[in-house]
Amino acid sequence: MGAKRAEVAEKAVETWRPARAVFVAGFALVLLFLTLFSAYGHVPDAAVAALVLPGILAPTLIAGAAVGVLAVGRFAAEAPVRGRLLQGGLGGLPVGLVAMGGMLAAYHSGPSVAYVAVTVAVAGVLGGLVAAAQPVGAVAAGAAAGVLASTIGLLVAYFQNDLVDLFGNQETVGSMADASYRLQLTTSIVSGIAAGAMAFGYLRRTGMALPWPSYPLAGAIPGLLTLGAALIGWIGGLPLSHAVAKQSEFDAAIIASRLPEQVNHGLILLFAGAFVAMILVGRTLKRAS
């Protein structure tokens, strides 16, 4: 009887402190630093800052969630929801401050700098709050999947010129627009599939005995965080967009057109990631039965 109770207690601890969560947080922070580094020196004005902001917010949310998992597992493993939210938010706060510092280094002079800084800092805290969800192992798996999906996005952005040519760019406005659309759609689908596979693999590798809905939840988390980044970026970037509109209506229209693209990318990530994770866990359940 004592051995059985000890086993149950050990499983409960593992549920709140998933294996490899430290590595996930480390990779998430590296991703955030790389994203901030890529923005440094390339944000000359408010228009570019408005375009870059959602791309900073997504890895900030992911890193906040990953570090929040560590904070919840360390300080609030058996706490009620309020305690988990508190510790998760505190875990995400340093991430938000780091991201805020990096964004200020990239965009430190111009209109609405304070709004941009606060928006990025709040994103880190909100990411940490995600770690209060149960099971926290699904959040850790979702953060790992988000790191992979965002890394794919960074690689595509780095090789964008070559990839656009590969997708049919003929150096005309129409062909460039079509090639960019095909590249974006392909990137979203590939990122979603990779995220779902990563979420499934993480939960299986860590040996956590979680119910099957945890797998599609983990696969959906990258998409949910991406949609959250789009929403936070739109709300927090409204003063920035208004400042851009005073200088150039054309630039403001370009910025506004990016929101539907970000939402579409988030939705594809969400459904593709959840679907792939669900299919993969479904195949393992069939083999087990």
Answer with the residue of higher pLDDT: 171 or 55: 55
**pLDDT band (50, 70, 90) for residue 17:** low
pLDDT tens-place string over residues 114-150: 888 999 999 999 999 999 988 888 999 999 999 999 9
pLDDT tens-place string over residues 63-80: 999 999 999 988 887 788
For residues 83 and 76, give the distance between their C-alpha atoms in angstroms, rounded to a whole number. 6
Answer with the residue of higher pLDDT: 257 or 285: 257
Q: Mean pLDDT, to the nearest integer, of 36-62?
A: 85
Domain count, the chain: 1
Q: How much is the pTM? A: 0.88
Q: So what's the pLDDT on residue 207?
A: 61
Tell me the average pLDDT of the chain: 85
Range of the domain at 148: 2-288
Q: Mean pLDDT, to the nearest integer, of 174-190?
A: 86
